Structure 1
Amino acid sequence: MMSIRIIVAGANGRMGREVVKMIQQNDHFTLAGGVSRSQKGRDIGEVIGFGPLEVAFTGSVEEALAKHDAEVLVDFTTPQSVKEHVELAVQAGVRPVVGTSGLSERDIKELEQLCRERGSGAIIAPNFAIGAVLMMVFAGQAAKYLPHVEIIESHHDRKLDAPSGTAMKTAELIAENRHEFKQGHQGEEEVLDGARGAYYQGFRVHSVRLPGLVAHQEVLFGGPGQLLTIRHDSLNRESFMPGVKLAIEKVLELDHLVYGLENILDL
């Protein structure tokens, strides 16, 4: 197998560091470049504690794409910059694998159109943990039979978007299998604004942000005399790497954008 050359945007961040580590552990992957505005010019390995890798940080994705010959861009950056990064990569003939959440439905549709026009593969996944993807799929199936549902997602306190991309994707899968209706008592009143969580297609989504958490979600389904809980916990960021590895390998086979890791799993 020929080596896949990869640029990592956000390589100095928590997830980016794990991606660089994963790349170094796989013989058929090569770290072509990394992006960090604050570490521009420094050796990536020295900055993140691996020892010299002889690959220096560039200050922007645009600079990295121009400087390095690569097949794949892995992006774990910020909601404010990710759409532009995907556009730059596709226009440069590089396949994006995106774990940054915060893209709107409109953003995704525009990126789908760009990928179709360019014949480029791309994968955007709200969550790369295989167990989390299974949780989302199982929740969608359960909603056919237990339509009364609420989602509670919990993340570390440095996460920028709420609800999480995983919670939003879960809500979308549930809505596909559930007729919209407003749950709860019709006369319900919030004594504190937001106490019942965000409203989506008749059910509620709750976000918790605390130090010490990584990424956790439970989906609660209620029925007469019963409660079904589907839960997933990522205990460290290494849990996302098998999914990232799979996406890097699969994106080279695609000619369109795929939203959600479940679409490249054999389910």
Structure 2
Amino acid sequence: MTIRVVMSGATGWVGKALIPAIVAEPDMQLAGAVARGAAGWDAGSAIGLAPIGVDVTATLEEALKGTSDVVVDYTKPVAVKEHALTAISNGRHVMIGTSGLGAADYAEIDAAARGNGVGVIAAGNFSITATLMKRFALMAAKYVPDVEVIDYASAKKPDAPSGTARELAEALADIRGASTAKPQSEVSGIPATRGGAVGEAPGVQVHALRLPSYILSCEALFGLPDERLTIRHDAGSSAAPYVGGTLLAIRHVVKIKGLVRGLDSLIEM
């Protein structure tokens, strides 16, 4: 079976790495590409490669006029939910690599996917090593209840926390024991400096740093009396780490119905 893929965010940081990877896979076919600024260009030419015979469209709706199976979205937080719901309503499976969505958004997407009989896979990070960071942190949380997350990203990143940190904190909040830290409501001074609680109440505190020179890093800090444990992932300047995980998700999403969150879920499958 050949999986026909529409790449939304074709000329973006990850899109530029994914398009040649999709074209090179024997069981995949690039069926469409979306990038408003490159509309009308050949998708290969738009990212600095040889033409590949697929035209870039300005909107996802235009790309969906053709035949396809999966929409891969690496666009912007303000657009991803609308894109996902549009693709689902048109009977396409969806792979979400864009961050910025919350639990309520994912619940709506899950309901729409189940209603239309399609699958959705969303992850804050499609890197294999970032997935291992999450896995190891969840293992630690079963034994060490005091944990907080620090989220590092560039000064220009529009959402906070990042999808990686948000997904990690939500998962940690589901399994860790009661924290010994003073509740934020009891903190004097400027309580907001304690970060934001993410996940089911009371949640896990997340601190988002936005500074030049960072690309994307995430660390979970655990504390016990007289000892600490830090589990951290650092992303480099290339989008290459996200390609393998995305291809894995494309192959899995056509086999499911409803929403699956996290690349670690696919590894378990």
User: So what's the TM-score if we normalise by structure 1?
Assistant: 0.92
Aligned position for 1:166: 164
Alignment partners' CA distance in 2, 1:126 and 1:202: 18
- Aligned-residue CA RMSD (Å): 1.9
Please list every run of 5 or more consecutive structure 2 residues that lacks an aligned counterpart in the other structure.
none
Aligned position for 1:151: 149
Q: Which amino acid aligns with 2:37?
A: S
Q: How many aligned positions are there? A: 264
Preserved contact between residue 140 and residue 176 of structure 1 (Cα < 8 Å): no
Preserved contact between residue 75 and residue 96 of structure 1 (Cα < 8 Å): yes
Aligned position for 2:247: 245
Q: Which amino acid aligns with 1:228?
A: L
Per mean C-alpha deviation after superposition, the further-off stretch among 36-45 and 20-29 is: 20-29
Counterparts in 2 of 1:44 and 1:152: CA distance versus 1, 3 Å: same
Preserved contact between residue 183 and residue 202 of structure 1 (Cα < 8 Å): no
Aligned position for 1:210: 211
* Aligned with 1:199 (options 176, 197, 200): 197
Aligned position for 1:21: 20
Aligned position for 1:57: 56
- 1:163 Cα deviation after fit: 0.7
Alignment partners' CA distance in 1, 2:31 and 2:16: 14
* Aligned with 2:259 (options 253, 257, 260): 257
- 1:234 Cα deviation after fit: 1.7
Alignment partners' CA distance in 2, 1:39 and 1:18: 16
Aligned position for 1:222: 223
From the two aligned structures, give the one with the greater helix fraction.
2
Preserved contact between residue 181 and residue 202 of structure 1 (Cα < 8 Å): no
Please list every run of 5 or more consecutive structure 1 residues that lacks an aligned counterpart in the other structure.
none
Matches within 5 A, 1:63-212: 63-66=62-65, 68-181=66-179, 183-184=181-182, 188-190=187-189, 194-200=192-198, 201=202, 203-212=204-213
Say which SS state the counterpart of residue 247 (structure 2) adopts. helix
Alignment partners' CA distance in 2, 1:199 and 1:138: 21
Q: Which amino acid aligns with 2:251?
A: E
Aligned position for 2:41: 42
- 1:185 Cα deviation after fit: 8.5
Structure 1 outlier segments of 4+, above 6 Å: none
- 1:202 Cα deviation after fit: 5.4
- 1:229 Cα deviation after fit: 0.8
